[in-house]
A and B are shown apart, each in its own frame.
Chain A
Amino acid sequence: MFAYIVRRLAYAVPILVGVNLVTFVLFFVVNSPDDMARMQLGAKRVTPEAIAKWKAERGYDKPLVWNAEAPGLEKLTRTIFFEKSVRLFVFDFGFSEDRRDIGREIAARMWPSLALAVPVFLVGLAVCVSFALLLAFFRATYLDFWGVVLCVAMMSISTLFYIIGGQYVFSKLWRLVPISGYAEGPDALKFLVLPVAIGVVAGIGASTRWYRTIFLEEMGREYVRTARAKGLAESAVLFGHVLRNALIPILTGVVAVIPLLFLGSLLMESFFGIPGLGSYTIDAIQAQDFAVVRAMVFVGSVLYIVGLILTDLSYTLVDPRIRFD
């Protein structure tokens, strides 16, 4: 098991190198640092001196991958590639456009993101599984049919409408909760109720439909027939047998997204003014702060790979037949 985890972590390295290369090509080769400087400085203040100063301040004044002027090993290290891309591997993200330490910023903004994403994830899972179980219990009836229709309709609505509509009705019209904002500690609750509810509702359609097919698949199996044949009530079959077996594919399916909860939700956070990583990313995209975007790309891919490893591990935990060799 331990050897397997180590091997999987080793596999992750080339992927992270690949991610780094992609971001490097996107940010430094397609556009030279001169272009970035021009964009950040704006049309009015572009002089060659201003561009040179901007580049020097941010360390973009070095060659891309090969510094012919530097001595010895520094030919490789005193380059943009080494300083901006390779340093990401030790989680040294450098500074954002407003001269703040990106690493520290990420560590601080992680918590509001989690405060929103974790309840959305847990409540959403519980709601969707129960709703799907209900539909599976009433399978092939009108309730099931209209339930599925409702799911498809809910899937067809953009998250943006849920957010704008929810904010309008609950915050502006009925004034139940503040429109946006965030506070530390228990005060955060009143700011989080609405985003969590909207996050759950927005996810119901797709997840419920998926879980319902898993339940129905599971209900067609032999052990269900056996359980019915020995005279168990339908509810006992459903909760005692089907639910427990169906949770295996459901849980192994959702494990992959758990690490990504750290990244928060772009839309939710920016609409509700929650100072998490999602709003950090969206602000960086809109301000064209490439250092932050680069850092978030790297963090995101690390978390994705962790998710892949956790998924594989969760298969062994729930199914002893799978072994790692």
Chain B
Amino acid sequence: MPVVLVTDLLLWLLVAVGIGYARYCARRPHLAAPWARVFRRPAAVAASVVLAAYLVVALADSLHYRPALAQGGAGARAYSVEVLSLLDALLPALRTRSEKTYSAPLATRSYAKEQVELPGGGIARDYPRLRWGGAHLADESEWAADVARRVAQGLGVAAALIGLAALATRRLRRRRPEVPWQAGFWTFAALAALACPAFALAQGYHVLGTDKVGNDVFYLALKSVRTSLVIGTVTTLVLLPVGVALGIMAGYFRGWVDDAIQYVYTTLNSIPGVLLIAASVLMMQVVMDRHPEWFATAAERADAKLLVLCVILGFTSWTGLARLLRGEALKLSQLEYIQAAHALGVTHARILSRHILPNVAHIVIIALVMDFSGLVLAEAVLSYVGVGVDPSTSSFGTMINAARLEMSREPPVWWTLATAFAFMLVLVLAANLFADAVRDGFDPRVRVAAAGAGVR
């Protein structure tokens, strides 16, 4: 039975809007030109390959369903209360094979000592073998050979993929020689060379170890990707309409409208970011706790919390964009063509939508891509403070939060932190590089204060 979570819908909607926008731009040279400038930079091409990889993971994780329970009688079919996604279905090994507790990456034995029964009778304290990690090995001495064999298999698949990519790159280069396809190709090659062996190893081991309750860390990291992307993109869906409408209205109408809007955003700005978000989240939590009947499953509840977090982040971070657009609209409204439109009797609504909005669109796009990385980083901090996503939703913030105590264990459990670090660094770095390229391609002078800046 398919389950449609609200954030799934919004994420797919955003993808559809993105594709629509790309097609719209492609047919209009004046809109396509800045994007062509963006993609002339190798860093932008490489970054967009990485972002696309993350997006694929997030989208696969955004098709949810409830599996049918095996049942004898026909008629009414029962469905599990557990909500799974396409990603879970693709990676059953990662989801179900949980251990008792921590285990190091690729380990065959547990992190903690336990009472184990010796084959010849009697009990000793030893590190027990894992239930899944390396369980197929009859003898642990085969470990190195087995790992090497799986890595080689993974690399073989990767080589095939890279070969296909090389062919595609050659064709693309012939069609569009000005774009640095090479950068994208090498990024893809690096990703494939890392991901394919990882998935090959994941069939028999826990590639990045397991966490406290024995869940596979690699799986948690893949699930966290969706949370990050939802926060980075759905938030802007809230932030954009508010920021754009209020910003250009303040700049265009001036007078009391300007005063009122400026008053609202100065007031919101003056409240320390974390406190405003924390207060709003706490209040919404109380409201949601009071109405348990709103949510059919735990997944829907966690999803509603994620959505609420996005809405709150959006409502607290539109002020930077509004201020920027106000200044720009103030300048534009003085120009001759706006005056002329005015003199010809064009209505305010039409001037705003036909003349002002298209001329500030570049700022909106720059702000949109620049906000993304700030929001991803803010999520981690908010989850640490305890006002982030639901504890049952895996996110980089909850992973880091858990890792905090793990580092003080002896020996330290470093793999959760390292995984969250690597996945987040790659995502945010790619987003930052892409945002820089977009800014340089559209308007290098715009200086946007990233959303969520107050939170970091």
Assess whether B272 is in contact with A300, with CB atoms less than 8 Å apart. yes
Assess whether A296 is in contact with B272, with CB atoms less than 8 Å apart. yes
Note all chain A residues with C-beta closer than 8 A to B424. Answer: 157-158
The answer to whether residues A161 and B278 also contact, given A27-B283, A153-B429, A305-B270 and a CB cut-off of 8 A, is no
Assess whether B283 is in contact with A30, with CB atoms less than 8 Å apart. yes
Assess whether A266 is in contact with B400, with CB atoms less than 8 Å apart. no
- The contact string, 1 if C-beta is below 8 Å from chain A, for chain B 29-57, is 00000000000000000000000000000
Count A interface residues, CB 8 Å.
46
Give the Cβ gap from B225 to chain A, nearest Cβ, in Å. 15
Note all chain B residues with C-beta closer than 8 A to A290. Answer: 279, 282
- The contact string, 1 if C-beta is below 8 Å from chain A, for chain B 123-166, is 00000000000000000000000000000000000000000000
Assess whether A152 is in contact with B436, with CB atoms less than 8 Å apart. yes
> B456 contacts the other chain (Cβ, under 8 Å)?
yes
Assess whether B270 is in contact with A158, with CB atoms less than 8 Å apart. no
- The one of B271, B287, B381 in contact with A31, judged by C-beta atoms closer than 8 angstroms, is B287
Within 8 A of B (CB), among A258-305: 260, 263, 266-267, 271, 281-282, 285-286, 288, 290, 293, 296-297, 300-301, 304-305
Note all chain B residues with C-beta closer than 8 A to A267. Answer: 381, 384
- The one of A167, A172, A293 in contact with B275, judged by C-beta atoms closer than 8 angstroms, is A293
Note all chain A residues with C-beta closer than 8 A to B407. Answer: 164, 167-168, 172
> B280 contacts the other chain (Cβ, under 8 Å)?
yes
With both beta carbons as reference points, the residue of chain B lying nearest to A217 in the complex is identified as B445
Residue among B272, B400, B407 with the highest chain A CB neighbour number at 10 A = B272
Note all chain A residues with C-beta closer than 8 A to B115. Answer: none
Assess whether A31 is in contact with B429, with CB atoms less than 8 Å apart. no
Assess whether B275 is in contact with A296, with CB atoms less than 8 Å apart. yes
> B433 contacts the other chain (Cβ, under 8 Å)?
yes
> A19 contacts the other chain (Cβ, under 8 Å)?
yes
The answer to whether residues A31 and B274 also contact, given A159-B456, A160-B400 and a CB cut-off of 8 A, is no
Assess whether B279 is in contact with A26, with CB atoms less than 8 Å apart. yes
Distance of A7 Cα from B226 Cα, bound (Å): 49
Assess whether A15 is in contact with B266, with CB atoms less than 8 Å apart. yes
Give the Cβ gap from A155 to chain B, nearest Cβ, in Å. 6
Give the Cβ gap from B428 to chain A, nearest Cβ, in Å. 4
Distance of A263 Cα from B274 Cα, bound (Å): 12
Distance of A296 Cα from B270 Cα, bound (Å): 12
Bin chain B's interface residue count. 35 or more
> A39 contacts the other chain (Cβ, under 8 Å)?
yes
Distance of A164 Cα from B286 Cα, bound (Å): 31
> A229 contacts the other chain (Cβ, under 8 Å)?
no
Assess whether A164 is in contact with B263, with CB atoms less than 8 Å apart. no
Assess whether A19 is in contact with B275, with CB atoms less than 8 Å apart. no
Give the Cβ gap from B115 to chain A, nearest Cβ, in Å. 30
With both beta carbons as reference points, the residue of chain A lying nearest to B290 in the complex is identified as A35
Main secondary structure of the interface of A (DSSP, over half): helix
> A72 contacts the other chain (Cβ, under 8 Å)?
no
Distance of A207 Cα from B441 Cα, bound (Å): 22
Assess whether B275 is in contact with A297, with CB atoms less than 8 Å apart. yes
With both beta carbons as reference points, the residue of chain B lying nearest to A16 in the complex is identified as B270
Assess whether B267 is in contact with A15, with CB atoms less than 8 Å apart. yes
> A156 contacts the other chain (Cβ, under 8 Å)?
yes
Distance of A168 Cα from B417 Cα, bound (Å): 12
Assess whether A156 is in contact with B279, with CB atoms less than 8 Å apart. no
Distance of A290 Cα from B421 Cα, bound (Å): 33
Assess whether B271 is in contact with A156, with CB atoms less than 8 Å apart. no
> A96 contacts the other chain (Cβ, under 8 Å)?
no
- The one of A27, A271, A281, A301 in contact with B271, judged by C-beta atoms closer than 8 angstroms, is A301
> A14 contacts the other chain (Cβ, under 8 Å)?
yes
> A22 contacts the other chain (Cβ, under 8 Å)?
yes
Assess whether A304 is in contact with B270, with CB atoms less than 8 Å apart. yes
Assess whether A285 is in contact with B425, with CB atoms less than 8 Å apart. no
- The one of A22, A156, A168 in contact with B267, judged by C-beta atoms closer than 8 angstroms, is A22
> B404 contacts the other chain (Cβ, under 8 Å)?
yes
Distance of A160 Cα from B407 Cα, bound (Å): 13
> A314 contacts the other chain (Cβ, under 8 Å)?
no
Distance of A18 Cα from B276 Cα, bound (Å): 13
With both beta carbons as reference points, the residue of chain A lying nearest to B427 in the complex is identified as A156
Note all chain B residues with C-beta closer than 8 A to A179. Answer: 408
> A130 contacts the other chain (Cβ, under 8 Å)?
no
- The one of B263, B290, B417, B425 in contact with A156, judged by C-beta atoms closer than 8 angstroms, is B425
> A23 contacts the other chain (Cβ, under 8 Å)?
yes
Note all chain B residues with C-beta closer than 8 A to A285. Answer: 275, 278, 282, 385-387
Distance of A15 Cα from B456 Cα, bound (Å): 24
Distance of A271 Cα from B432 Cα, bound (Å): 27
Give the Cβ gap from A269 to chain B, nearest Cβ, in Å. 12
Within 8 A of B (CB), among A49-106: none
Note all chain A residues with C-beta closer than 8 A to B290. Answer: 35
> B373 contacts the other chain (Cβ, under 8 Å)?
yes
Within 8 A of B (CB), among A103-152: 152
Assess whether A297 is in contact with B263, with CB atoms less than 8 Å apart. no
> B403 contacts the other chain (Cβ, under 8 Å)?
yes
Residue among A26, A160, A172 with the highest chain B CB neighbour number at 10 A = A160
Give the Cβ gap from A214 to chain B, nearest Cβ, in Å. 10
Note all chain B residues with C-beta closer than 8 A to A39. Answer: 286
> B196 contacts the other chain (Cβ, under 8 Å)?
no
> B380 contacts the other chain (Cβ, under 8 Å)?
yes
> B120 contacts the other chain (Cβ, under 8 Å)?
no
Distance of A305 Cα from B269 Cα, bound (Å): 10
Note all chain B residues with C-beta closer than 8 A to A282. Answer: 385
Give the Cβ gap from B408 to chain A, nearest Cβ, in Å. 7
Assess whether A158 is in contact with B400, with CB atoms less than 8 Å apart. yes
Distance of A267 Cα from B289 Cα, bound (Å): 28
Assess whether B373 is in contact with A156, with CB atoms less than 8 Å apart. yes
With both beta carbons as reference points, the residue of chain B lying nearest to A297 in the complex is identified as B275
Give the Cβ gap from A289 to chain B, nearest Cβ, in Å. 11
Give the Cβ gap from A264 to chain B, nearest Cβ, in Å. 11
> B377 contacts the other chain (Cβ, under 8 Å)?
yes
Residue among B266, B385, B412, B425 with the highest chain A CB neighbour number at 10 A = B266
Known contacts A160-B380, A285-B282; 19 additional CB pairs below 8 A are A18-B267, A19-B270, A152-B436, A156-B425, A156-B428, A156-B431, A158-B380, A159-B456, A160-B381, A164-B403, A164-B417, A172-B408, A286-B386, A293-B278, A296-B272, A297-B271, A300-B270, A301-B270, A301-B271
A-B contact pairs, 13 of them (CB 8 A): A18-B267, A19-B267, A26-B280, A27-B283, A30-B283, A153-B425, A158-B428, A168-B412, A172-B408, A266-B381, A285-B275, A285-B387, A297-B272
A-B pairs, top 10 by smallest CB distance, nearest first, are A18-B267, A300-B272, A301-B270, A156-B428, A304-B270, A156-B429, A285-B278, A30-B283, A158-B380, A31-B286
